[in-house]
Amino acid sequence: MLDFDGNPLADATVPDLTDEELVGIYRDMRTARRFDERAISLQRQGRIGTYASLAGQEGSQVGSTYALAEEDWLFYQYREHGVLFAREFPPEHLAYWMGYESGNAALADANVFPLNIGVGAHIPHAVGWAMGADYRGDDGLAVAHFGDGSTSEGDFHEALNFAGVFDAPAVFVCHNNGWAISIPTEEQTAAESFAAKAEAYGFEGIRVDGMDPLASYAVTKAAADLARDPPEGRLRPTLIETVEYRYGAHTTADDPSVYRDSAAVEQWRERDPIDRLEAFLLDTGRLDEEAIDAIEQAADDQVAEIIDVAESEKPDPEQMFADAYADAPSEIDRQREELIDAIDRHGKDAFERE
Ligand SMILES: Cc1ncc(C[n+]2csc(CCOP(=O)(O)OP(=O)(O)O)c2C)c(N)n1
Ligand SMILES: [Mg+2]
């Protein structure tokens, strides 16, 4: 077999996953894609605020999460919510995109930290968590997902430097989707790759085809095994660069046609992670058309249920202050008081969605 540039490819190996797990990866990717389509449509109808599309990136998000143990904690950014489908997708999550903090609670049962918007700001949290787990002697790794743009932030450098120096049980997954809003990869770094940056922190970096869920699984499994049980002389952390593409706009507030060519999107769609895994599962008799239809129906139903739950949420507006600070600064307290006062005067309904 040849790659897209005509070079021979090594024979692919199928990771050691059960048929149920392989079909599960396919199902979770399809559900994430369906959620994405519906969320964009809801935004267009004015039913949610801004939304960041994950289409094209399901393979690296779902595939990598299947490689983890239950006790491993996930830290993710606004475009990697596909990881939630591989764990336990909280129906309330969609409420976050409607502007309700209730949709962004930490998922203690599923071991997932709240979604982060500040580019790269959650990577130090992940490393701090990993160091804490190590000091306590707890099992579990921190797995931090972030975009290529994070690698230009101080937080990325500080976090990976700490991870190396303190040998933290952490796996870093850098989703290189070609763009940070309108900044292309070649303007993001002069390095040969994002994975190459690991060398500066004393541990290994690896690039993988992020459009291939099974390859994403395989490298994450190897990184997780290393972090759990490093051989003599090896550090625990790994930086994985998943090479993939964002099919859609940066968010629903962006128009990519002003900075990139749509022909590139079509080329990347030929490597679509869902189509590729579907072809493999059909070829190897693990799925048939009937099973695919049933998975599609189940994905539709699950997403419809998520939307129903999110739209029935009526959170207290005051809740937006609840989890930002343990001890709120006086200015934040003042704003909270002002809101409470306004609710007293105008009634809570004035702050609710119609
Ligand atoms: C600290 C910080 N600076 C700037 C922004 C504005 N911003 C939001 S997304 C983004 C680009 C991030 O690109 P990348 O890390 O590649 O992630 P992607 O959106 O491609 O998934 C920027 C600059 C922000 N959210 N946080
Ligand atoms: Mg990016």
**Residue whose CA is at the smallest distance from ligand 1 atom 13:** 180
Task: Choose the residue to mutate in 51, 123, 181 for probing ligand 1, maximizing ligand atoms within 8 Å of C-beta.
Answer: 181
Q: How high is the pLDDT of residue 10?
A: 64
Do 115 and 44 contact (CB within 8 A), yes or no? no
Distance CA 109, CA 112 (A): 8
Q: 177: CA distance to ligand 1 center in Å? A: 12
Which pLDDT score, from 0 to 100, does residue 353 have?
56
pLDDT in tens, the chain (354 residues): 556 567 766 666 889 999 999 999 999 999 999 999 999 999 999 999 899 999 999 999 999 999 999 999 999 999 999 999 999 888 878 888 888 877 887 777 889 999 999 999 999 999 999 999 999 999 999 999 999 999 999 999 999 999 999 999 999 999 999 999 999 999 999 999 999 999 999 999 999 999 999 999 999 999 999 999 999 999 999 999 999 999 999 999 999 999 999 999 999 999 999 999 999 999 999 999 999 999 999 999 999 999 999 998 777 788 888 777 889 999 999 999 999 999 899 887 776 655
Q: What's the pLDDT score for residue 313?
A: 77
Compute φ and ψ for 239, nearest 5 degrees.
-105, 115
Q: Which domains are seen in the chain, by residue range? A: 19-315 (3.40.50.970), 317-354 (no CATH)
The two tokens of residue 146 are 């972030």
Residues whose Cβ atom is located within 5 A of ion ligand 2: 147-148, 177, 180
DSSP count for the chain of H helices, then E strands: 12, 7
Spatial strand order in the sheet of 142-147 = 73-75, 142-147, 170-176, 238-243, 204-209
Quote the radius of gyration of the chain (alpha carbons, Å). Answer: 21
Q: Which ligand is nearest to the CA of 77?
A: 1
Among 119, 174, 241, name the best residue to mutate to test ligand 1's pocket (greatest count of ligand atoms within 8 A of Cβ). Answer: 119
Residues designated as active site: 246, 250, 259
Kindly give the number of the ligand 1 atom that is closest to the alpha carbon of 177: 20
The number of the ligand 1 atom at minimal distance from the alpha carbon of 118 is: 26
Q: Is the CB of 119 under 6 A from ligand 1?
A: yes
Phi–psi pair at 242, nearest 5 degrees? -95, 120
| Ligand 1 atom nearest 57 alpha carbon | 21
Cα 180 to ligand 1 centroid, rounded to whole Å:
6
Q: Which atom of ligand 1 is nearest to the CA of 52?
A: 19
Closest by CA position to 204, among listed 163, 243, 245: 163
